[in-house]
Structure 1
């Protein structure tokens, strides 16, 4: 990462800028937008720890602002399994071959985009016991791919009627998830790599600009229309990753 040409650094910076514009509007999705671009220039195993640092500072204000208004009962059910899933996902990330991670990342991104574009919504209210599998899977995806937000969104949408309450609770979960990932990667010594810290410092300007722009830009499209466009772009990025994986020599 220390010897990337300026053209590559520019592409990385712009992708992170766009990712945090979307994060500021949608509340999650930085890894889904930025990871396919970052994967072209750096090892996949470096991407999630890098974005975890940026996500932590981007989500900290949301956590402080909304944490007390979240549905505490749902948090109590989800957070323990989320922590367990994050530990499992971090182990998989640190001890799995990079090429296989590229395949998993491509499949994950395509699956998420297809789910979002399908418009599927839970037909019936979920049972509280479903917090265990949703929390565990969300934690694994958060550590492994940098985004478990859509998993939590599916569960909370099937449990909570009020949209504002869903948004606040999900925002709090993402903040806690980011903190959990950060602690696991710190204990694993990932941040001993000065290259990751240097790249995070370089991209912090893109994160700040993206969050600032996302808060102030008034979009002509509705939030739903905007996210549909984003998910089409995410789907194309995921397909590109899969093409790259299957076209590369074994």
Structure 2
């Protein structure tokens, strides 16, 4: 097999957490730092305290919240899962875990568009405000290695994954355009939906962009075909970029 080195740039935050059984609970597990976080769109810079934390992947045991003394990593299986197209299930691809610096990890709540079927109540708000999730922040650059069969071109694998991402982005834009036709009372919601759709439009034709990790929302997870009635689902957004979670670009591929 041949070794390929890639560089991954995060266009939005990436969430990759171990199973729910690894969650940390205040009062049961040790919290070495007070996990406070600012609330998005809060004019007073209001903060709230997390009672439950879902950690990013880290080496060792998940027994306490101590981000300053943790070795974080992006599992190779997450990279593999993001790259392998459903039509390439038999392709042999292995990916190494990728070291993630502590400075790249932030603790945030999920920010979600809620009550979208109700024009008077619809808004962006924290989703379970006492639950925090560690995630890699946008702007992070990582370098990793993967291994492919000699006769397999990485460019082809990346192209298929990118085409998949483009289809899902198009699907989400269609949904956002449908939402923008509704008469929501919340002006901030309408403005944010417009910006999200515009931001996605700039990535629609961008090469080498793929999705990694979770909390992308249903419309960025599966393709629904042509049934427009199915165009609904969770709309989780990175409040810093106003993009869905998990958008990354593989900017460089080096064959060794």
TM over 0.5, yes or no? Answer: no
Highest CA radius of gyration, 1 or 2? Answer: 2
Higher strand share: 2
State the TM-score, normalizing by the size of structure 2: 0.25
- Structure scoring higher RCO (CA < 8 A, sep ≥ 6) equals 1
State the TM-score, normalizing by the size of structure 1: 0.25
